[in-house]
A and B are shown apart, each in its own frame.
Chain A
């Protein structure tokens, strides 16, 4: 029998929201740098980011588990089978997606906009903030996609978290476990709540996003 629903739900939400926030903090600046700066090896980095989007979550989970395993390079951190280890795995899953969408969003802005803003006196920080505001709709979409990716993945959560009852069991791993036991009613309940959680978070972000879209259209 899986953990009580409210425990699994709060664990899932905490892990995925934390991972998404960290991935946003990494992915948006990284995507911005890839879109705007003339970095050495930029093409290689872009290819790596795009590849990162296609890597199965179970493979990410494997690599993270190998790194966090007690005999692995980060074994002394004691993060395997912990929520923090799961957050690391989900950050690695969500970051490429957020980075790639950010990069594409900024590249779709009018190409002379950065020069126009510089020509009006923006310093580098003001310029970047203004470009983010201008691309706020796709950037919110990037955050939503990252959150959805993190929340829905099961492979990395199982491998890195271990689906330990009372500790690392999250919605997706609980569903897999219940289905394996033939407890479809319980699995369906988890699935319904998972959908509701995804709907609530994305609904919040969408309302912010579409408020901006309405303004842009009007």
Chain B
């Protein structure tokens, strides 16, 4: 059964500086929360609080109603924390996985069963007898995950588990993580600074910036309605630029209409546009006038870079003939692939 997690008025200070400020954050049993944020946002600080490694400077962190201040080893043994570096010990992969079970005084036979099952679940049972330090990066990460899962935790904390892996290994590893978690009721908090990882594994995503919770939403809501420019960049919008909204709702960038409108907002705003939502029109149509600076083939698309202060990027289907560098174009945006955001300090 997954743990219920509640954070209330949590403040964490380091060397007199507040590094995390969370008024409230609640996780239901079995929920998967991704924490997305840039380096230094307080993601690992949050995990350390949840793992009961650090007590909060102020406020309360509760796991199934038990405070991490007072829960002691008993509480920590319901949580498994896999740090960014696998932290494997100089012994066999199997013994690495068995060790936390030995700390919990499980009988030898049971330890062996659980560790073997965890390795099998991640498709690495063939590595059981290998020295952990002779494994590749991806294999180490899998052993680290198997070690965390073997303890059958109520709360699993993953700190950038795919960091340091090349893109192909990362994708495979994340698929394995998804598979390993598929039939478990464990509550999971997964930290990442990569949107594609966070969105892939989560029921909800918490975006942390400079120690503050900027947005807490489902992956779908987060990608469609980011709260501010920083969140929009973090979730992967290719173009984020300043705009203004007329009283009639028309969105203007540098005084030009761009094919967007807003029924709710007026005044200064931010717009976020996916690269696929940037339309390049022939000169003469209303929009932003730009010059193509570079065209590069991308995965299933043409990636077009445009000049100008906003450094726009457009992704075009490989079915169309791309513009050539130096060509003049007029840019508008597809309303279905853009978000209009009320401007706030970020």
Where the two chains meet, the residues of A that have a C-beta atom closer than 8 Å to any C-beta of B are 110, 112-113, 115-123, 126, 130, 133-134, 212, 215-216, 218
For A119, A120, A215, A218, the residue with the greatest tally of chain B CB atoms inside 10 Å of its CB is A120
- What string of 1s and 0s marks CB contacts (under 8 Å) between B56-77 and chain A? 0000000000000000010011
**B77 CB, min distance to chain A CBs, angstroms:** 4
A116 to B48, CA, bound (A): 10
Q: Does B119 contact A (CB under 8 A)?
A: no
Q: Across the interface, name the chain A residue whose C-beta is closest to B96.
A: A120
Please indicate the chain A residues that have their CB under 8 angstroms from the CB of B84 in the complex.
Answer: 112
B76 touches A119 (CB 8 A): yes
Total cross-chain contacts (CB, 8 A): 68
Please classify the interface of chain B as helix (H, G, I), strand (E, B), loop, or mixed, using the class held by over half of its residues: mixed
- From known contacts A121-B104, A121-B151, A123-B103, infer whether A116 and B76 are also in contact, taking CB-CB under 8 Å: no
Please indicate the chain B residues that have their CB under 8 angstroms from the CB of A215 in the complex.
Answer: 90-91, 131
CB-CB contacts below 8 Å: B111-166 with A: 131, 133-134, 147-148, 151, 157
Please indicate the chain B residues that have their CB under 8 angstroms from the CB of A110 in the complex.
Answer: 85, 87
**A123 CB, min distance to chain B CBs, angstroms:** 5
Where the two chains meet, the residues of B that have a C-beta atom closer than 8 Å to any C-beta of A are 48, 51, 53, 73, 76-77, 79-85, 87, 89-91, 99-100, 103-104, 131, 133-134, 147-148, 151, 157
A130 touches B73 (CB 8 A): no
**B192 CB, min distance to chain A CBs, angstroms:** 17
B90 touches A119 (CB 8 A): no
- From known contacts A120-B100, A120-B151, infer whether A115 and B48 are also in contact, taking CB-CB under 8 Å: yes
A216 to B90, CA, bound (A): 6
**B98 CB, min distance to chain A CBs, angstroms:** 11
Q: Across the interface, name the chain B residue whose C-beta is closest to A213.
A: B90
* Residue from A119, A130, A133, A212 within 8 A of B53 (CB atoms): A119
A121 touches B134 (CB 8 A): no
- From known contacts A112-B87, A126-B103, A215-B131, infer whether A120 and B148 are also in contact, taking CB-CB under 8 Å: yes
A112 to B157, CA, bound (A): 15
B131 touches A218 (CB 8 A): yes
A33 to B131, CA, bound (A): 29
A119 to B48, CA, bound (A): 8
A215 to B48, CA, bound (A): 32
Chain A to chain B contacts (Cβ below 8 Å), 11 pairs: A116-B87, A118-B76, A120-B80, A120-B99, A120-B100, A121-B79, A121-B104, A126-B103, A130-B99, A133-B89, A216-B133
Q: Across the interface, name the chain A residue whose C-beta is closest to B80.
A: A120
Please indicate the chain A residues that have their CB under 8 angstroms from the CB of B133 in the complex.
Answer: 216
Q: Across the interface, name the chain A residue whose C-beta is closest to B74.
A: A121
B83 touches A121 (CB 8 A): no
A134 touches B90 (CB 8 A): yes
Please indicate the chain A residues that have their CB under 8 angstroms from the CB of B82 in the complex.
Answer: 116, 119
